A and B are shown apart, each in its own frame.
Chain A
């Protein structure tokens, strides 16, 4: 070899390396990822309107159908706007242990070319779609709470309560679990799509609200029956389909990680449907449609924190667990708690979220088919998961309680007795759902 070939032997690799380094500096925005995120966001919108709206609506009496549809739609819209105004900034705008800051208030400084991180180094998605995706999460979380307080709360009180709880409970919990520097994120808590942020958060808030509001008139004596379980099933089906966006979209890229979340979102609720139906058949001799629909939702809630890190068999296990345990949640546990949690937000979302969060710590283990690394320890992870569960429960409960007291002082929480008897559709909204 002469001097030139020796130089070339050294220089070329160095040039190649610096060329690669230069290429790495430009972030990758993949059209597939962007399309997937837009689709996922659409799916989560559909989960709330009309999915959750119909799921809840069918379960209330016909005289209150419109009030539920109204609360879900308006709360979702209100939170979406507040998310853009200050929510996104506080949840994701900056590093912080508990909360971000207001640097991105009104989405200041963000343009169509702004980028948000994914879980892959140097792969980005446009920040707008990340903002929109997360907005739908905030919206559905607050809309979920409407299930606990259905059929008796003043409309304006619902809205004010949601604003307060969103600001002081949803945003900090979302930041702690998903935001840069967030306390639970840094502790290694696994919550892929929001078992704590969305489900435990709303479930506990709903339970507290049910306690503070008190029971509906005639609860426990009169027959208060769902007026249209067909709607409930349609709503549950929309929730299931939309949840693929909720879970697999939380991967932020259209890669294999998303497909793991996707298949888990198929299997867990399927297993939960079977578990709930079997449980009911054993408990009372018959499996019901409402049970199957509720089972699907319970399984979806359970797999939400786990979908990105457990294997398909783990998803089935989580689904079975959520199905059986949430069935207890809406029957035995509900009696024990003694609150009129009208649409079982705590029994399904609260309990399902807790079950899912803890089992995430178990089934993420590589030995059980999960994506955990070689140093994954089930015991340690479950402890971290439990910490996340506890913090979320306490934070949500305290904020919900204070918010309710504030609203109660400002405007009162419940509608008048005659209004509750006549129905919220006519008395709160001046309309009737069924005029046939």
Chain B
């Protein structure tokens, strides 16, 4: 089992969601985050006070998927989230030790 974590541009969320449904991912968790990579931030001015804001709003998507689905999931996110411009984001794949469905108590692949 793998946890696929993707940081994407917020306006790409709907597209990525649809793409994930298309490859058979049933559920995801979405968080609003902020961060920066190579994309520059912006400057804010309040009367005499100037602030350089490095952080940009992003969306983090997490989905636990079976091993055999992982490659297709990563590819689906990559294609849906890409704009070609700086700031598109990153995808991380990490191993999951255990998964449990709270309602039924199922664990392992059955819980995905």
Contact = CB atoms under 8 A, between A and B. Distances in A.
A331 B51 contact: no
B49 A335 contact: no
Contacts of A335: 48
A290 interface: yes
Nearest to A290: B46
Interface residues of B, number: 8
Interface string A280-299: 10001010101100100000
A344 interface: yes
Contacts of A294: 47
B44 interface: yes
A225 B51 contact: yes
B51 A330 contact: no
A72 B98 CA distance: 56
B45 interface: yes
B47 A344 contact: yes
Interface string B47-61: 111010100000000
Interface string A317-345: 00000000000001110110000000010
Q: Which of A59, A223, A291 has the most CB of B within 10 A?
A: A223
A225 B45 CA distance: 9
A224 interface: yes
A288 B48 CA distance: 12
A330 B45 contact: no
A282 to B, nearest CB: 13
Interface string A208-241: 0000000000000001111000000000000000
Contacts of B51: 223, 225
Contacts of A288: 45-46
Contact of B46 (A225, A286, A332, A347): A225
B44 A330 contact: no
Contacts of A286: 45
Nearest to A280: B45
Nearest to A332: B48
Interface string A27-64: 00000000000000000000000000000000100000
Nearest to B50: A284
Contacts of B46: 59, 225-226, 288, 290
A332 B48 CA distance: 8
A291 B47 contact: yes
A284 B45 contact: yes
Interface string B19-45: 000000000000000000000000011
Contacts of A224: 49
Interface string A416-433: 000000000000000000
A291 B48 CA distance: 10
Given A225-B44, A225-B51, A335-B48, 11 more contacts: A223-B51, A223-B53, A225-B46, A225-B49, A280-B45, A284-B45, A288-B46, A291-B47, A330-B47, A332-B48, A347-B47
Interface of A: 59, 223-226, 280, 284, 286, 288, 290-291, 294, 330-332, 334-335, 344, 347
A-B pairs, 7 with minimum CB distance: A331-B48, A330-B47, A223-B51, A334-B48, A330-B48, A290-B46, A226-B46
8 contacts: A59-B46, A223-B51, A225-B51, A280-B45, A286-B45, A294-B47, A334-B47, A335-B48
